[in-house]
Amino acid sequence: MIKYYRYSIDYHDQIIQFLKKEWISINTEKWSDYFRWKFMNNPLIENPPVFIAVEDDKVVGFRGLFVQKYVYNNNIFLIAQSSDSKVAASHRKRGIFRSLIDMTFEYCKENNIKFNLTLSSNENSTPIYMKLGWYPLRTKREMIKLSINTFLKKRRINNSDKNVYEYGGYSINEYNINNILDDKVIKELAKSAVHFENINKIHSVRDYNYYKYKLANPVSKYLVYTFYKNEELKGHLIVKKLNTLKYILKVSPLKIIDYHLHTNEEDKMLKVFLRKICLNSYLLRNSIVSVPLLTMDKKYERLFFNRGFLKESKYSDKLTGRRSIPFLIRPININADEWYIDDISVKKYSNWQLTGIDVDNA
């Protein structure tokens, strides 16, 4: 008989082992740290949003939630992302996934969580989500650029925790973050992101606590760039360093997961980043740079396109055999009025402002 439980320390080690195939790219020594960061250290919740199915004292199903604050028109509310859901192959088609979803909805109602957002569903789970009321917002795609310095002779510079560049009238700080966070960096990012408050879209609350928590991910490495002009903070970029392809193609894939470049200077700052910093920074040499589209508005899409980023297309899906998967949204209470925040519909992707850092594993 299958029994369902919320997180218990008694099953902690089993859960970690159960998820190992989901975390195949993560160093095994960091599995427990990653679990604690993701589900237990979130400052917004008291009880870990982790739910398991057990048969004969063995974990056969798992579903986690990743909770964050969002805001629209000064209305702040909680959204839970689906995270690392899994059912053992031997126990599929027995209603376990549905039962775990019901448990998460119960948890969300208890904790005043308004929506369930799914940014990392796959080919197997997406049809199930849609049958259960999730709505597809937009197909998950990226824009990609091969950094020009791949073809040029490299000039190695100081590979330290902080480098400073002076280009195009800007002073740019480059911070190499490996989970040891400088409070000054977090405050800089929070100050830069204040401008998000003027965006008339649904977006995560980018405050000090948000960046302090997100950038403490123990299995990710980041480069943070803050742009100054005449000693005034003008914007920031956060780049995640990826490991895939590094040793095969001898390139370092990088993903721009967060960006805010202040009005009227976005194009110039992005140009400085791509043409100058990528060329000279030892940390960015041999780079393939990507940026998730998610709900990127047309202005930023044009901005990245003008700087050499090409959008993935349906043709690339045919070449790779990959299916296009959307990201999904569903209110916890699925009534007609619940699909709205104030006067806007959550079903319209252009009403959202999501970047790569909003994904649960960023």
Strand partners, 116: 80, 330
Average pLDDT over the chain, rounded to whole?
Answer: 84
The span from the CA of 231 to the CA of 270, in Å, is: 19
Q: How confident is the model at residue 243 (pLDDT cuts 50, 70, 90)?
A: low
Q: What is the pLDDT of residue 179?
A: 60
Q: Is the pLDDT of residue 316 over 70?
A: no
Stronger pLDDT, 179 or 202, i.e. the higher one:
202
Nearest to 294 by CA among 214, 352, 223, 235: 352
CA distances from 123 to 12, 98, 127, 128, 354 (A): 28, 17, 7, 10, 22
Give the mean model confidence (pLDDT) for residues 272-277.
73
Q: What is the pLDDT of residue 194?
A: 83
Q: Percent of the chain having pLDDT more than 90?
A: 46
Domains of the chain are 2-139+325-357 (3.40.630.30), 142-319 (3.40.630.30)
Q: Is the pLDDT of residue 28 over 90?
A: no
Nearest to 257 by CA among 227, 286, 228, 292: 292
Nearest to 177 by CA among 240, 109, 259, 104: 240
For 131, the 3-state DSSP assignment is helix
Q: What is the pLDDT of residue 321?
A: 47
Stronger pLDDT, 197 or 75, i.e. the higher one:
75
Stronger pLDDT, 106 or 159, i.e. the higher one:
106
Q: What is the pTM of this model?
A: 0.88
Nearest to 87 by CA among 133, 51, 115, 119: 51
pLDDT digits (tens, 9 = 90+) for 84-109: 899 999 999 899 999 999 999 999 99
Q: How confident is the model at residue 213 (pLDDT cuts 50, 70, 90)?
A: very high
> Which run of H or E residues covers position 88?
none
Judged by average pLDDT, the poorest of 137-151, 290-304, 332-346 is 137-151
Q: What is the pLDDT of residue 277?
A: 65
Q: Is the pLDDT of residue 132 over 70?
A: yes
Q: What is the pLDDT of residue 297?
A: 79
Q: Is the pLDDT of residue 272 over 90?
A: no
For 35, half-sphere exposure in the C-beta direction (CA atoms, 13 angstrom radius) is: 24
Contacts of 144 (CB under 8 A, 6+ apart): 288, 289, 290, 309, 310, 312
For 161, the 3-state DSSP assignment is coil
Q: What is the pLDDT of residue 22?
A: 76
Q: What is the pLDDT of residue 160?
A: 58
Q: Percent of the chain having pLDDT more than 70?
A: 85
Q: What is the DSSP letter of 278?
A: H
Q: How confident is the model at residue 247 (pLDDT cuts 50, 70, 90)?
A: very low
Q: What is the pLDDT of residue 158?
A: 45
Q: What is the pLDDT of residue 143?
A: 87
The span from the CA of 274 to the CA of 290, in Å, is: 12
Stronger pLDDT, 105 or 196, i.e. the higher one:
105
